[in-house]
Amino acid sequence: MKQVKTLVKKTLKKSACKGGCGECQTSCQSACKTSCTVANQKCENEARK
């Protein structure tokens, strides 16, 4: 493509199928105890990989 560079394709829909295992870290246990930042948590679901 000349006009578009895609960094990430659709990810959310796919993640709904195999997601929700709950094995990932709770966001407040990493560094922030005062805001809610979830997009930086590592996924630990082997089935999704």
Partner 1 sequence: MLHLYSHNGINIVLDVESGSVHVLEPAAYELCKLISDACYGDSAYLKVTPESVFINSACPSVFKDKLISVFKFDSNEIEDAYSELKELFEEEMLFAKRDYAINLPEDYPVKALCLHISHDCNLRCKYCFAEGGDFGHGRKNMPFEVAKKAIDFVIERSGTRHNLEIDFFGGEPLINFDVVKKTVEYARSLEKQHNKNFRFTITTNGILLNDEIADYINREMSNVVLSLDGRKEVNDSVRYDVAGNGSYDRIVPKFKKLVENRKGKDYYVRGTFTTQNLDFASDVEHIRSLGFNQVSVEPVVLDSHDPLAIKEEHLEKIFSEYDLLTEKLADIHKKGDFFNFFHFMIDLEQGPCVIKRVKGCGCGTEYVAITPDGDIFPCHRFVGMDEFKLGNVMDSFDTKKELLDYFKQSTVLNKPVCEDCWAKYYCSGGCAANNYNCHGDILKPHEISCEMERKRIECAIYLKALEAIGDE
Using CB under 8 A as the criterion, which residues of the chain lie in contact with partner 1 when the complex forms? 1-13, 15-16, 18-20, 22-45, 48-49
Count of other CB atoms within 10 angstroms of residue 4:
5
C-alpha 2/C-alpha 32 separation (Å) is 40
Q: Residue 6 CB, nearest distance to partner 1 (Å)?
A: 5
Q: Residue 1 CB, nearest distance to partner 1 (Å)?
A: 5
Q: Residue 47 CB, nearest distance to partner 1 (Å)?
A: 10
Residues 6+ apart with CB under 8 A from 23: 44, 45
